[in-house]
Amino acid sequence: MSHFGRSRLPDIKDTYSLLVLNINFRTTADDLFPLFDRYGKVIDVFIPRDRRTGDSRGFAFVRYKYADEAQKAVDRLDGKNVDGRNIMVQFAKYGPNAERIHKGKIMEAVPKTRGRSRSCSPRPS
């Protein structure tokens, strides 16, 4: 029986995915792998590409086997300059570990500009 029909990211419950934002469009998985592999066992590096053009979409996913290694990579690489861009590294929003780590942070990320304004006068429509 073939296991290729399953999702692109198998065994997600046993791995820790990091979302890497703001990567250079020329940066490849081969560039990122050695950088992240310094901090632990990297299972894979995935850079989503635009379906039409095939170009990088400017972010990547890096999967680690162990949570403490993933956390170390976040601590060391978040804000690091890679190929001229300061990358942002955080735990991805899916998987069993994501909800626990991101609780609270998600709530703060809601833009404060929406909703009620401070003035009592109604806005002209």
Domains of the chain: which residue ranges? 12-95
- More confident site: 115 or 15: 15
- State the pLDDT confidence band at 93, using cuts at 50, 70 and 90: confident
12-95 is a CATH 3.40.1410.10 domain: no
Is a pLDDT exceeding 70 seen at residue 10? no
Instruction: Give which of 97, 102, 77 is closest to 20, Cα–Cα.
Output: 77
The residue ranking higher by pLDDT, 84 or 101, is 84
User: Which residues are CB-neighbours of 13 under 8 A, at least 6 positions away?
Assistant: 95, 96
Does residue 100 register a pLDDT over 80? no
Percent of the chain with pLDDT over 90: 62
Chain-centroid distance, C-alpha 85: 15
- pLDDT, position 14: 75
Q: Does residue 3 register a pLDDT over 90? A: no
pLDDT of residue 6: 39
Tell me the pTM.
Answer: 0.66
For residue 125, name the pLDDT band (cuts at 50, 70, 90): low
